[in-house]
Amino acid sequence: VVVYHLKRVRYLEGNPVIMDYNYFRKDIAKGLTLEIAEDSIYEFLDRELDQRAVTAKRKMVVERTNELDEKYLELDGFNSVVVVTSHIFNADGVMFEYTMSRHTPSNFVFFDQTQRK
């Protein structure tokens, strides 16, 4: 499988707080460009390609910072980051995206809601 590989820094109120490493299957994210990646990949997938993220499997761990974290993120004295890995599947059950997001601890929030019937 051939993939697009993107590295992106996300900002909150002008501060670099997340380093994303994205991998998208080329056969599903056809025509993905730098301009699209700078705006909204999911809007492009949904509107232009009729591809929707239906299922996401995520794992969160805390790791020590690496060289790129220290270079690109505002760590506020922390020596660790929260690493969220995501496996994203479309309606056909095909995993079309893998993302590793490295979050600064000072801006990371985890919220979960569970409903049982």
Give the whole-angstrom CA distance, residue 98 versus residue 56.
10
Q: Comparing C-alpha atoms, which of 112, 108, 84, 78 is closest to residue 98?
A: 84
- pLDDT tens profile 13-44: 999 999 999 999 999 999 999 999 998 999 99
Give the whole-angstrom CA distance, residue 34 versus residue 30.
13
- pLDDT tens profile 90-117: 999 999 999 999 999 999 999 988 888 8
Give the whole-angstrom CA distance, residue 95 versus residue 27.
11
Q: Which residues contact 103 (CB under 8 A, 6 or more apart)?
A: 17, 18, 81, 82, 83, 84
Give the whole-angstrom CA distance, residue 109 versus residue 117.
27
- pLDDT tens profile 46-102: 999 999 999 999 999 999 999 999 999 999 999 999 999 999 999 999 999 999 999
Residue with tokens 């270079």: 71
The class of domain 3-25+54-107 in CATH terms is alpha beta
Domain boundaries, the chain: 3-25+54-107
Task: Return the pLDDT at 56.
Answer: 94
Helix (H, G, I), strand (E, B) or coil at 57: strand
Q: pTM for the complete prediction?
A: 0.90
